[in-house]
A and B are shown apart, each in its own frame.
Chain A
């Protein structure tokens, strides 16, 4: 299993440069999903390239998410879908991460997933982890 060290110097541009901090979105995001969806001032993010994630990665994430949340096959889950919007609670979220780890053969540190809001964010993170592991 490829593993990411957050303190490694292989990190490229920190998240704050490629993704501006969004306005606070009310309290519910912290409370319902304490895993994702809150901005922090910690540094040391996985290497996220500014290029979009590959469509096949995004599709795979959608598939894993749909399966975990028991959504219908024709339910709309796209790269833009937000985890908070899909009704994933903290338990769903960790199971989704486990599903991603199993499929992509990676290890996702809890801290590296903290800024993931959308399916596309997750796909980018996965590709970043794989890319770093292959360096």
Chain B
């Protein structure tokens, strides 16, 4: 099992480190850009960062004034911590692809038409501006950021044992398409049906996030996702009676399990110029990170279990 382990130790000494983190010199090791059909996934497990650590304070210093205000407006410390980590993960991840020349705290963001966050490179920046696409997802126990080159990407994470209050079939009947409900209804065992539902849910979420519409902008009843298998990627098609215009139908999907605890779905809009089945499987690299402290490449280990759609 390949297990690359790079450590980037930082010894905090009061405010000196905060200033260091916010200067133009980033200590994050540069990462080569993903290939066109490759997805990079970086994730944080909030339990690995101490609640009241100076580390969290240093991460907070990376946030924009608006982001800080958003964090402080949350009422529970746990939500505040996760919000800080989510912003930190986004900023540090993106800066890794800028050859050490972009300070994570300096990155600016804008929102797409339906609210999807995008990088807003500043005019006059004399640095490289890689055409990075990214998307974030979090549960209380895992925060993940997916990165791709050029192609819009969406990611959704759920705890794989996640239970719904209502029956999964009732939720599916309300929100999913007829063929998806039929698929779920045919699953013989309740606990497997629960897992299949969660997997289908994350795939659909990943799609609406990839295309930048979100749930409200692309209601789930407008498109069907067919689950894949070992060698076959999930496929989607737009429903004949869809009243949602402009839905992309050229997306690739992948599904995996992380740490045996979370299911992760990724959706990437496909390259136009490549056609045929050879385009069907995505390549993936996954890192577990504690930004500025530790990065661990976990793809290729038992931490990442491919379900479908990945080569």
Contacts and interface: CB of A to CB of B under 8 A. Distances in A.
B66 A26 contact: yes
Nearest to A76: B75
Contacts of B205: 34, 90
A13 to B, nearest CB: 20
B72 to A, nearest CB: 11
A104 B249 CA distance: 36
Given A27-B117, A40-B114, A85-B79, A35 B215 contact: yes
A3 interface: no
Contacts of B272: none
Interface in B80-100: 83, 86-87, 90
A41 interface: yes
B116 interface: yes
Interface of A is mostly: loop
B209 A98 contact: no
A68 B71 CA distance: 24
A98 B114 contact: no
Given A23-B66, A25-B66, A31-B209, A111 B219 contact: yes
Nearest to B213: A34
Interface in B57-111: 63-64, 66-67, 70-71, 73-76, 79, 83, 86-87, 90, 109-111
B154 to A, nearest CB: 9
Contact of A34 (B73, B87, B215): B215
A85 B166 CA distance: 22
Nearest to B68: A26
B126 interface: no
A103 interface: no
Nearest to A70: B165
Contacts of A37: 115
Contact of B217 (A68, A84, A111): A111
A127 B155 CA distance: 34
A98 B87 contact: no
A105 interface: no
Interface in B116-160: 116-117, 135-140, 156, 158
B35 interface: no
A30 B117 contact: yes
Given A91-B158, A94-B174, A27 B136 contact: yes
Contact of A38 (B67, B86, B114, B135): B114
B147 to A, nearest CB: 14
Contacts of B165: 67-68, 70, 95
Contacts of B137: 31-32
A30 B116 CA distance: 6
A11 interface: no
B171 A89 contact: no
A24 B64 CA distance: 11
Contact of A110 (B79, B171, B219): B219
Contacts of A32: 86, 137-138
Contacts of B162: 91
A98 B138 contact: no
A34 B109 contact: no
A39 B112 CA distance: 10
A15 interface: no
Contacts of A68: 165
Given A26-B83, A34-B215, A94-B174, 6 more contacts: A24-B110, A26-B63, A26-B70, A30-B115, A35-B215, A90-B205
8 contacts: A24-B111, A26-B109, A27-B86, A40-B114, A40-B216, A85-B73, A89-B139, A111-B217
Of all A-B residue pairs in the complex, the 10 with the closest CB atoms, nearest first, are A38-B115, A27-B117, A34-B214, A114-B216, A110-B219, A35-B215, A31-B136, A26-B67, A26-B70, A25-B70
Interface of B: 63-64, 66-67, 70-71, 73-76, 79, 83, 86-87, 90, 109-111, 113-117, 135-140, 156, 158, 162, 164-166, 170-171, 174-175, 201, 205, 208-209, 214-217, 219-220
Interface of A: 23-32, 34-42, 67-68, 70, 84-85, 87, 89-91, 94-95, 98-99, 109-111, 113-114
